[in-house]
C-alpha cells in the first residue's frame, strides 16, 4: 500500500478534453514562437499579442465545450478515497483538475483564469478575457495585470513544496508530459533518488522515459482510471 503519491500532469491529460498540446503534431508551438508569446521579453515587446494568445486559450475553455475527462476525474477520486498523502502538480494552466474536484493541486506554471499585479504579485480572478482595463486594486497607480502564467526563463511556482513532496513520496506518476521542460522533467530523478517507484503514462515513450521504472502506454483517459483503481485496492506496481 502506498503512503505518499506525487502526480505530475502535462498537456497530454487535457488533450482528450479537446485542448491542444504544445509539442505534438499540430501542437501550439507549431504556429506560435515561444519567444514571442511565452517569454517576459516577448510580453515587454508586444503585450497585446501575448494577451491574444492566452485569450484564445481562455475562450476555448470558457465556451462550455471543454470538460474534464476520465483522467482528471480519476485523479480527483484518488484524492477523495486514498488514505495516504497525495499531491497533484500540474504544468497545465487550464482549470480541468479543479473542475473534476481535485483540491490538493499545485499549478506550477500558473493559471489561465487569473491575472497578476506585476508589482505586488497579488492575483485576481479573470471573469472575462484579458484587456487593458484589467488593472489591479492593490497599487496606486493601478497596475496593468499580466497573465498569471510562468514564462520561459521565469521561476515556476511551489518548487519548495514540490521538492518536499518528492523527497518523501513512494510513488511518482507522470501523465501526458513530453518531459522536455525543466524543472518538471527532472522530478522523476528526484523521486528515483529517494527510492520511490516511478511510472510514466503517455501515448508514446516520452523524452525521458528511460528514467521511469514503469511505462504505461496509451490514453490517459483509459490508463489513469485503471491505475487509480489498482492503487485504491492496495496493489503495488510490479
Ligand atoms: P528552460 O526550458 O531552461 O526553462 C527555464 C525555466 O523556465 C524552467 O524552470 C521552466 O520550468 C520555466 N518555464 C518558464 N515558462 C514556462 C512555460 N511556459 N512552460 C514551462 N516551463 C516554463 O528555458 P530557458 O533556458 O528559459 O529558455 C531558453 C530558450 O529556449 C527560450 O527562450 C525558448 O525560446 C527556448 N525553448 C524552446 C523550447 C521548444 O520547445 N522549442 C523549449 C524550451 C525552451
Ligand atoms: N494520453 C496520454 N498522453 C498524451 C495524450 C493522451 N491522450 N495526448 C498526448 N499525450 C502526450 C504526448 O505524447 C506528449 O508526450 O502528452 C505529451 C504532451 O507534451 P507537451 O505538449 O510537450 O506538453 P507538456 O509536457 O505539458 O509541456 C510542458 O511546456 O511550453 C511549456 O508551459 C508549457 O506546461 C507546458 C510545458
Work out which ligand 1 atom sits closest to the CA atom of 34: 34
Ligand with smallest separation from the Cα of 37: 1
Instruction: Determine the distance from the C-alpha atom of residue 51 to the mean position of all C-alpha atoms in its chain, rounded to a whole number.
Output: 20
d(CA 52, CA 131): 9
Pairing of strands 171-175, 4-9: parallel
Ligand 2 pocket, residue 176 CB under 6 Å: yes
Give the pLDDT of residue 60: 81
Task: Report the pLDDT averaged over residues 31-35.
Answer: 90
Q: Which of 146, 152, 177 to mutate to test the pocket of ligand 1 (most atoms within 8 A of CB)?
A: 152
pLDDT tens digits along 164-192: 999 999 999 999 999 999 999 999 999 99
Contact 23 CB / ligand 2 (< 6 Å): yes
Mean residue pLDDT across the chain = 95
Instruction: Write out pLDDT tens, residues 205-238.
Output: 998 899 999 999 999 999 999 999 999 999 999 9
Structural contact between residues 16 and 68, judged by C-beta atoms closer than 8 angstroms: no
The pLDDT score that the predictor gives to residue 52 is: 92
Tell me, what's the pLDDT at 207? 87
Q: Interface pTM (ipTM) of the complex? A: 0.81
CA distance 50 to 200: 32
CA distances from 107 to 48, 89, 218 (A): 24, 6, 24
Site to probe by mutation for ligand 1, drawn from 106, 150, 181 as the one with most ligand atoms within 8 Å of Cβ, is 181
Q: What are phi and psi of 63, to 5 degrees?
A: -90, 5
pLDDT at 112: 93
Catalytic residues: 109
Q: State if residue 153 touches ligand 1 by the CB under 6 angstroms criterion.
A: yes
Residue 34 near ligand 1, beta carbon < 6 Å: yes
pLDDT of residue 15: 95
Which ligand approaches the C-alpha of residue 149 most closely? Answer: 1
Q: Which domains, and CATH codes, for the chain?
A: 4-19+68-109+156-232 (3.40.50.1220), 29-65+114-149 (3.30.1600.10)
Q: How far is the CA of 24 from the centre of ligand 2 (A)?
A: 7
* pLDDT over 80 (residue 12): yes
177 in a known ligand binding site: yes
Q: How far is the CA of 229 from the centre of ligand 1 (A)?
A: 35
Dump pLDDT digits (tens) for 71-89: 999 999 999 999 999 999 9
What's the pLDDT at 133? 81
Cis peptide before 141 (omega within 30 of 0): yes
What's the distance, Cα to Cα, between the start and end of the chain in Å?
13
For ligand 1, whether the C-beta of 35 sits within 6 Å is yes
> What's the order of all strands across the beta sheet hosting 146-149?
123-125, 110-116, 146-149
Please compute the mean of the pLDDT values over residues 16-37 and round it to a whole number: 90
Query: Tell me: the pLDDT tens digits for 36-69?
Result: 999 999 999 999 999 999 998 888 877 778 999 9
Tens of pLDDT, residues 108-147: 999 999 999 999 999 999 888 888 789 999 999 999 999 9
Amino acid at each position: 500500500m502506498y503512503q505518499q503519491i506525487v502526480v505530475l500532469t502535462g498537456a497530454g491529460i487535457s488533450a482528450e478534453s479537446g485542448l491542444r498540446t504544445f509539442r505534438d503534431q499540430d501542437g501550439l508551438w507549431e504556429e506560435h514562437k515561444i519567444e514571442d508569446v511565452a517569454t517576459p521579453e516577448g510580453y515587454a515587446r508586444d503585450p497585446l499579442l501575448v494577451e491574444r494568445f492566452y485569450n484564445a486559450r481562455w475562450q476555448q475553455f470558457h465556451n462550455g465545450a471543454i470538460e474534464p475527462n476520465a483522467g482528471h476525474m480519476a485523479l480527483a477520486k484518488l484524492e477523495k478515497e486514498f488514505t495516504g498523502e497525495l499531491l497533484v502538480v500540474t504544468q497545465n494552466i487550464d482549470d480541468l483538475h479543479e473542475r473534476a474536484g481535485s483540491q490538493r493541486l499545485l499549478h506550477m506554471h500558473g493559471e489561465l483564469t487569473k491575472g497578476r499585479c506585476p508589482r505586488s504579485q497579488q492575483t485576481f480572478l479573470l471573469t472575462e478575457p484579458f484587456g487593458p482595463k484589467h488593472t489591479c486594486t492593490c497599487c496606486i497607480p493601478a497596475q496593468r495585470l499580466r497573465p498569471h502564467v510562468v514564462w520561459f526563463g521565469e521561476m515556476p511556482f511551489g518548487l519548495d513544496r514540490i521538492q518536499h513532496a518528492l523527497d518523501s513520496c513512494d510513488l511518482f506518476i507522470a501523465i501526458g508530459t513530453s518531459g522536455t521542460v525543466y524543472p518538471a522533467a527532472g522530478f522523476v530523478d528526484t523521486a528515483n533518488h529517494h527510492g520511490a517507484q516511478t511510472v510514466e503514462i503517455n501515448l508514446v515513450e516520452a523524452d525521458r522515459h528511460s528514467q521511469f521504472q514503469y511505462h504505461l502506454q496509451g490514453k490517459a483517459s483509459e490508463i489513469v482510471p485503471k491505475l487509480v483503481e489498482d492503487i485504491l485496492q492496495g496493489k503495488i506496481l510490479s
